[in-house]
């Protein structure tokens, strides 16, 4: 993990009690950075204080990580303002990621994913213009792929509100780089999985649903024939990419599509999870109307730009990653199941 550039530096992780954010915060803290987390503590978004318990310590959150419980957009609050203004590097992962929720409550999605981001950027522009900002975007902005693999030049055509609000925030980061010189970039992530992901409901994508049902010895429901392909990316590989994006000068003002070179169908993914868990079963069912309306078919990305500019490579196979994920969840079932 490339943590050396962050030793002794002040790093802010927004959404740092969530799945990916907590993994970033712990990696930075373990590498010697001074880490602050801002998190609104919205449970259904994946926020979980247990996420900051480092591996091997089941008793107390990591004291190397300071936590500010607040909405990211509440920049008039002193502790929020101080955390943003004092940060040398901002890993900006705060947001709402449920596609279904975004359709049920689109104005809330807009507030969390776009308005709060606008307020953060304005404060950074005015009072901390030297900070580096890495924003986590999503492959969902592309909608249904017109060609595969999907590169950075692929047309943007979201099929849900979440894709629109995330794209707006992504473009704001790039605009602030272009117009104000903000040291910002955007990482478009594919289907991320791994330790500390929320499993308790069906709000965070198909992978945690599959894992939870297998561990509960229930049926994993695969819609239709399960032929749609995905490139699932283990969270440690994501953390490495974000750290590289924050420290590479050539990354400023850039967008990177980040996924895995390994492509598996949803049916193959479900089968692999059942094998790793040693429990559960796969059941093919008809498509529900609400999911069918926003289905994008197969998706896998072209990560060649991230490999070329950042020197990044996905290192973890799905089989290895899912084995580690299941072992983690079993060891901490009281917090994740």
Give residue-wise pLDDT tens across range 275-322.
999 999 999 998 777 666 667 789 999 999 999 999 999 999 999 999
Find out whether 16 and 93 touch, Cβ atoms under 8 Å. Answer: yes
Dist. CA 52–CA 62, nearest whole Å: 6
Task: List residues bridging with 138 in a β-sheet.
Answer: 189
**Given its phi and psi angles, is residue 226 left (phi above 0), alpha (psi -120 to 50 degrees) or beta?**
left
Residue 58: per-residue pLDDT: 40
Residue 203: per-residue pLDDT: 65
Residues of the chain with pLDDT under 70: 56-63, 202-204, 290-294
Find out whether 50 and 335 touch, Cβ atoms under 8 Å. Answer: yes
Residue 57: per-residue pLDDT: 46
Dist. CA 266–CA 283, nearest whole Å: 12
Residue 82: per-residue pLDDT: 98
Dist. CA 49–CA 165, nearest whole Å: 26
Residue 142: per-residue pLDDT: 94
pTM above 0.85, yes or no: yes
Kind plus residue range of the DSSP H or E element containing 72: none
CA dihedral 256, 245, 234, 257 (to 10 degrees): 0
Q: Classify 7-196+235-261+302-317 by CATH class.
A: alpha beta
Taken in order 25, 30, 36, 41, the sign of the CA dihedral is positive
In the chain, helix, strand, coil percent, each to 5?
45, 20, 40
């Amino acid at each position: 993990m490339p943590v050396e550039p962050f030793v002794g530096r002040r790093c802010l992780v927004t959404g740092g009690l969530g799945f990916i954010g907590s993994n970033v915060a712990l990696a930075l803290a373990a590498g010697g950075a001074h880490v602050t987390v801002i998190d609104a503590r919205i449970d259904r978004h994946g926020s979980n204080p247990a996420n900051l318990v480092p591996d091997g310590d089941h008793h107390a959150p990591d004291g190397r990580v300071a936590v500010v419980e607040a909405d990211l957009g509440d920049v008039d609050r002193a502790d929020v303002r101080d955390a943003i203004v004092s940060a040398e590097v901002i890993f900006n992962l705060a947001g709402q990621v449920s596609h279904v929720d975004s359709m049920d409550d689109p104005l809330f999605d807009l507030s969390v994913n776009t308005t709060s981001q606008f307020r953060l950027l304005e404060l950074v522009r005015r009072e901390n213009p030297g900070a580096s900002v890495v924003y986590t975007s999503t492959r969902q902005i592309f909608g249904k792929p017109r060609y595969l693999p999907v590169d950075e030049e692929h047309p943007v055509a979201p099929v849900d509100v979440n894709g629109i609000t995330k794209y707006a925030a992504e473009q704001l980061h790039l605009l602030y780089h272009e117009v104000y010189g903000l040291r910002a970039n955007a990482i478009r992530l594919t289907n991320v999985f791994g330790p500390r992901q929320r499993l308790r409901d069906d709000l965070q994508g198909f992978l945690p649903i599959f894992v939870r049902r297998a561990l509960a010895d229930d049926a994993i429901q695969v819609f239709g024939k399960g032929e749609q392909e995905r490139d699932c990316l283990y969270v440690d590989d994501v953390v490495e990419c974000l750290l590289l994006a924050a420290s590479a000068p050539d990354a400023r003002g850039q967008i990177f599509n980040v996924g895995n070179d390994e492509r598996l169908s949803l049916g193959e993914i479900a089968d692999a999870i059942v094998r790793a868990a040693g429990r559960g079963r796969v059941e093919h069912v008809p498509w529900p109307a609400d999911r069918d309306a926003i289905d994008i078919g197969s998706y896998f990305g072209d990560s060649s730009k991230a490999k070329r500019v950042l020197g990044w490579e996905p290192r973890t196979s799905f089989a290895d990653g899912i084995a580690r994920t299941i072992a983690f969840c079993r060891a901490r079932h009281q917090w994740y199941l």
